[in-house]
Amino acid sequence: MAGIYIHIPFCKKRCTYCDFYTEVAPQFIPTIIDSIVKELYFRRKYLNDALIHTIYFGGGTPSILKEVDFERIFDTIYDIYTVADSAEITFEANPDDLTPDFLKSIHSLPFNRISIGIQSFDDTDLKRINRRHTGIQAKEAVKAAQEAGFSNISIDLIYGLPFQTLAAWEQQLDQAFQLQVQHISAYGLTYEEGTVLWKQREEGKLETVGEETMIKMYELLVRKMNENGFEAYEISNFAQKGYRSRHNTSYWKQQPYIGVGPSAHSYDGVSRQWNISSMTKYAKAITDQTIFFEREELSLNDRYNDFVMVSLRTSDGLDIELLEETFGSELKSYCLKNIKPFIDTQKAYFSDGILRLTADGIQISNLILIELMSV
């Protein structure tokens, strides 16, 4: 089983916190769609004819595309690959794109899951991070998607936004639960170097949220998710029963996937590959049939590090027997030795062959993971 990720690198405007590869250049949409179709054909052997169980359109803003653009990509995918009848097929969307007309236009497409980038319901927050929708539009978008027949809806939220208080974050969560969606991804804000928000912080124009408040925000997040029937199945991802993101879970389970489009990443179990982060260079290389990506062969230690990092972020935890079977007894011993101080201080626990982080351990997960990495 395998997945396909399609990177749509277009936005109508750029968010102040974002460091993903995106461009405000809608005139290039036809060119990039052509290139994505060609890349799918060029790399049709990458997944070795594996059954496709997830397809994910991310970005950028996939909802900026038209029905005909999606149709071309889907026609190509279904021509090349064997897609499972039960495949999870997701697209990311901005709330203001999800008009009744847009949703009607994509009704015949095989999408069965939608991920809506709300980030906040507060208009002041939204203006500060340069989002192009309002809080009311966010709620209307979810309702429109539900009325259009989507019964598997995820929304994204960000906590720790500039000037945000713990009480304000609680209000955000309460509004989210009222929407009756099946999945919520909630991310603590990080100031990525070079972004507008990072520059504003460096210039002293923002009141940032302190570390102690960030911890309280996460604790509040987990508690309220539990109270409202959401499972914390990954540090930043929460789902109603039966609605985990199968695509993201496939990443955490280290299943192979192909990433198509500018800056998209791929993984085949032994190597990682990433496409060039330039629309013009990517399109030209595709046209000229020259190399448009870089590739890294993963060492045993690299694969061990990836396994540990993604496993411990999830509620499923790290299977020690599988670790030994895959990476050998030496790395198993190394892992157990280095995790012991965190078990002793109740930041992690080992039960029935599975290693997991406690609630306190999640708060310092980066520190724990660093200690478990093998160089």
Q: How many angstroms separate the CA atoms of 69 and 80, rounded?
A: 17
Same domain, 80 and 170: yes
Per-residue pLDDT of 127-147, as tens digits, reads: 999 999 999 999 999 999 999
Per-residue model confidence (pLDDT) at position 319 = 96
> What is the DSSP pairing of strand 153-159 with strand 113-119?
parallel
Residue 81 located in a structural domain: yes
Report whether pLDDT(64) > 90. yes
Same domain, 193 and 329: no
Report whether pLDDT(89) > 80. yes
Residue 268 contacts residue 46 (beta carbons within 8 Å):
yes
pLDDT band, residue 22 (cuts 50/70/90): confident
Report whether pLDDT(12) > 90. no
Residue 320 located in a structural domain: yes
Same domain, 232 and 325: no
Same domain, 209 and 342: no
Residue 294 located in a structural domain: no
Per-residue model confidence (pLDDT) at position 241 = 97
Residue 299 located in a structural domain: no
Per-residue model confidence (pLDDT) at position 268 = 94
Q: How many angstroms separate the CA atoms of 349 and 336, rounded?
A: 11
**Residue 204 is encoded by which pair of tokens?**
């002293």
Q: How many domains does the chain have?
A: 2
Domain boundary among 235, 252, 269: 252
Residue 246 contacts residue 53 (beta carbons within 8 Å):
yes
Per-residue model confidence (pLDDT) at position 134 = 96
Range of lowest pLDDT (151-160, 200-209, 222-231, 257-266): 200-209
Same domain, 67 and 161: yes
Per-residue model confidence (pLDDT) at position 14 = 83
Report whether pLDDT(352) > 90. yes
Average pLDDT of the segment spanning 47-51:
95
Query: What number of helices (H) and strands (E) belong to the chain?
Result: 15, 15
Residue 359 located in a structural domain: yes
Range of the domain at 66: 2-252
Q: How many angstroms separate the CA atoms of 74 and 76, rounded?
A: 5
Domain boundary among 229, 252, 275: 252
> DSSP per residue over 318-375, as a string?
EEHHHHHHHH-HHHHHHHHHHHHHHHHTTSEEEETTEEEE-HHHHHTHHHHHHHH---
3-state SS string for 308-321: HHHHHCECCCEEHH
Per-residue model confidence (pLDDT) at position 283 = 95
Per-residue pLDDT of 186-210, as tens digits, reads: 999 999 999 999 999 999 988 899 9
Distances in whole angstroms, Cα of residue 78 to Cα of each of 31, 93, 99, 343, 345: 21, 23, 27, 48, 51
Cβ neighbours of residue 254 under 8 Å, at least 6 residues apart?
A: 267, 269, 306, 307, 310
Residue 50 located in a structural domain: yes
Report whether pLDDT(375) > 80. no
Same domain, 236 and 361: no
Domain boundary among 232, 252, 272: 252
Same domain, 167 and 248: yes
pTM beyond 0.75, yes or no: yes
Closest to 144 measured CA to CA, from 102, 173, 91, 89 = 102
Report whether pLDDT(24) > 90. no
CA angle at residue 75 from 69 to 79, to 5 degrees?
150
Same domain, 142 and 219: yes
Same domain, 247 and 365: no
Report whether pLDDT(217) > 90. yes
Same domain, 186 and 55: yes
Same domain, 63 and 157: yes
Same domain, 28 and 157: yes
Residue 284 located in a structural domain: no
Query: Residue 238's domain is classified under what CATH number?
Result: 3.80.30.20
Rounded to the nearest integer, the mean pLDDT of the chain is 95
